[in-house]
Amino acid sequence: MKIGFIGFGEVALTLASGFLMHGIEVSTCIKDRSQKTQKTAKKLELNLYESNRELAETSDFLISAVTPSSAIKIAQDVGEYVKGIYIDINNISPSTAKKALSLIKNGKIVDASIIGPVRKGINVPIIASGPFADEFSKLNEYGMNITVIGSNIGQASAIKILRSSFTKGISALLFETLYPAYEMGIDKEVLKYISETEGEEFKESAKSRIISSAFHAKRRYEEMNEIIELLEETEDPKINKAIQDFYKELHEKLDNLDKRPENYLELFELIKKLKNHQ
Amino acid sequence: MKIGFIGFGEVALTLASGFLMHGIEVSTCIKDRSQKTQKTAKKLELNLYESNRELAETSDFLISAVTPSSAIKIAQDVGEYVKGIYIDINNISPSTAKKALSLIKNGKIVDASIIGPVRKGINVPIIASGPFADEFSKLNEYGMNITVIGSNIGQASAIKILRSSFTKGISALLFETLYPAYEMGIDKEVLKYISETEGEEFKESAKSRIISSAFHAKRRYEEMNEIIELLEETEDPKINKAIQDFYKELHEKLDNLDKRPENYLELFELIKKLKNHQ
């Protein structure tokens, strides 16, 4: 059995290393890739092809692990030549996944999403959907941790997006509740009584969520686009739209936040100062 | 020591019963009250006064436990006559608490909020703020469970409101995330993966939160007014405003929801039906 990777960044490297330990043949194409990637691929003794076309023609499982913006382009390039099962594991929206996978002519396609930190190794939880998701899950024999969600393309990426939208939303809501509490001098108490309802772990995670919201405000604001696009297919997502506005404003307010604040009080102090300077 | 209650509903009855068990003299005025209240007050052998004025003149601690809409009116009625410490324990906004308590001429005032179900008895957690909160907390000797939060009127009611706003917000956000997931056929999975991030207890509470959101949509929509009013003093609460809109629309959609749905799927099914009938 041959497993091929298009793209050879962190995800591909992690999964490939796991497959190699299970004695499986791993291939990629390193043409036009960085020196570092070429070196890594050679060190791991991968099968190296001159083109993605050759890679597509010879792989039993072809995993697309590229930058999200290249997912469609790559599928277009290899679509005619894919012989085995093509898995899109990129961090993309369901509609992008549908577009990309529709370009794979043999129809042996899987929409896959990594749920959790990829540094966990080959057994990082992965959810998969699509007509060939069951086939893909046979790779669990070689250390993978794939859960098949359904038979439609888009389901796996939708789950990932909806989970992340909820996480972003809670963080924003917490911020909108706790900053006024800070100005009123009751932030510690509000956090305490919220945590009594939400459970033990909430308090510590709340503090780091507030800091992350500020530090990643721009990225979150941008990522909200695909969340809203997905939700809009069903209902008008008012709350998520307001959450996007929240991150946009927070980003604009904190334009010059170049290092991660140590704690949420330091951050709130900064916001108060900026407000008073206006 | 004499403790007086203005109003004698569930809160007053619960606290009064606790004080009586500790051998403390409890008074109220049952003039113009319902038969049931009069009967209960007599059975408990309370001191009964002919007027709230007399009650105010003779109580060391006077607790206002009335319907939220009467809090200011009652404070106005007795403001001049209060001899001891006046505690407003009503479920009101900080600005209403400030208005009501400013009418108590002797300035011995406490803003108090019950945090948790009052059926717990006299030891239900209560937070208190204001110039006489410390004095009030001496009643902990007689079974009360008062935590002093600060010395400003409005702090205790603000904590209660902000806590409840967060709870309402999470429920609405969950709804806005999970209903589209239901239409996509992935609600169970989205809930599962959100729960993996949010902790064990989240899953079950999430289901009952969705049902409660629908069943109490009207009340929540109305209660959001005072939350927004409070938050607006600091920042424009975009997300909370969107949450209010969400509850308003949900209420309008489910106008005829006269019984609590058994489970969230039954509810989502109903919403989908209503949508298709439009």
- pLDDT per position as a tens digit, B125-160: 999 999 999 999 999 999 999 999 999 999 999 999
Q: Do B202 and A199 touch (CB under 8 A)?
A: yes
State how far residue A57 is from chain B, nearest Cα, in angstroms. 34
Interval B184-203 mean pLDDT:
90
B117 torsion bin: left (phi>0), alpha (psi -120 to 50), beta (else)? beta
Q: Do A233 and B115 touch (CB under 8 A)?
A: no
- What is the ipTM for the molecules in this complex? 0.88
Give the model confidence (pLDDT) of A198-254 as tens digits: 887 888 899 999 999 999 999 999 999 989 999 999 999 999 999 999 999 999 999
Percent of chain A with pLDDT over 70: 100
Distance CA B184, CA A162 (A): 11
Distance CA A244, CA B122 (A): 44
pLDDT at residue A121 above 80? yes
Distance CA B201, CA B196 (A): 10
According to the model, what pLDDT value does residue B256 have? 65
Q: Do B150 and A183 touch (CB under 8 A)?
A: no
Contact map slice: B 187-246 vs A, CB within 8 A: 189-190, 193-194, 196-202, 230-231, 233-235, 237-243, 245-246
State how far residue B3 is from chain A, nearest Cα, in angstroms. 28
Interval A119-131 mean pLDDT:
95
For B221, residues 6+ apart whose C-beta sits below 8 A from its C-beta are: B244, B247, B248, B251
Q: Do A176 and B149 touch (CB under 8 A)?
A: no
Percent of chain A with pLDDT over 90: 82
- Look at A21-30, A255-264, B80-89 and tell me which has the smallest mean pLDDT: A255-264
According to the model, what pLDDT value does residue B260 have? 84
- Look at A105-109, B123-127, B255-259 and tell me which has the smallest mean pLDDT: B255-259
Q: Do A163 and B194 touch (CB under 8 A)?
A: yes
Distance CA B174, CA B180 (A): 10
According to the model, what pLDDT value does residue B183 have? 94
Type of residue numbered B72: I
pTM of the model: 0.87
According to the model, what pLDDT value does residue A85 have? 98
For B236, residues 6+ apart whose C-beta sits below 8 A from its C-beta are: none
Shortest CB distance from B166 goes to which of A183, A194, A246? A194
According to the model, what pLDDT value does residue B200 have? 76
Sort out which chain B residues have CB atoms less than 8 A from A160's CB and list them.
Answer: 193
Sort out which chain A residues have CB atoms less than 8 A from B245's CB and list them.
Answer: 238
Does residue B35 sit at the A interface (CB-CB below 8 Å)?
no
Sort out which chain B residues have CB atoms less than 8 A from A154's CB and list them.
Answer: 184
Interval B249-265 mean pLDDT:
87
Interval A168-193 mean pLDDT:
95
Interval B181-203 mean pLDDT:
90
Q: How far is CA A161 from CA A53, A139, A157, A175, B194, in A?
A: 31, 24, 6, 21, 11
Pairing of strands B125-129, B109-114: antiparallel
| Cβ burial, residue A10 (10 Å; 0-12/13-18/19+) | exposed
Mean of the per-residue pLDDT values of chain A? 94
Taking each helix axis from N to C end, the angle separating B155-183 and B202-215, rounded to the nearest 10 degrees, works out to: 100
Does residue A8 sit at the B interface (CB-CB below 8 Å)?
no
Shortest CB distance from B239 goes to which of A115, A173, A180? A173
Does residue B252 sit at the A interface (CB-CB below 8 Å)?
no
According to the model, what pLDDT value does residue A12 have? 95
The DSSP symbol for B22 reads T
Q: Do B159 and A233 touch (CB under 8 A)?
A: no
Instruction: Tally the residues of chain B.
Output: 278
Distance CA A97, CA A91 (A): 9
Interval A152-165 mean pLDDT:
95
Mean of the per-residue pLDDT values of chain B? 94
Confidence of residue A256 (pLDDT cuts 50, 70, 90): low
Shortest CB distance from A165 goes to which of B167, B170, B177? B177
Residue in chain A lying closest to B243 (CA): A239
pLDDT at residue A257 above 80? no
Does residue B155 sit at the A interface (CB-CB below 8 Å)?
yes
Alpha helix positions (H), chain B: 10-21, 35-43, 52-58, 71-78, 94-101, 133-136, 155-183, 187-198, 202-215, 217-232, 238-253, 264-277
Distance CA B244, CA B218 (A): 10
Interval B247-254 mean pLDDT:
94
Percent of chain B with pLDDT over 90: 82
Does residue A150 sit at the B interface (CB-CB below 8 Å)?
yes
Shortest CB distance from B235 goes to which of A158, A180, A201? A180
Handedness of CA A143, A144, A150, A153 (dihedral sign): negative
Shortest CB distance from B163 goes to which of A163, A194, A241? A194
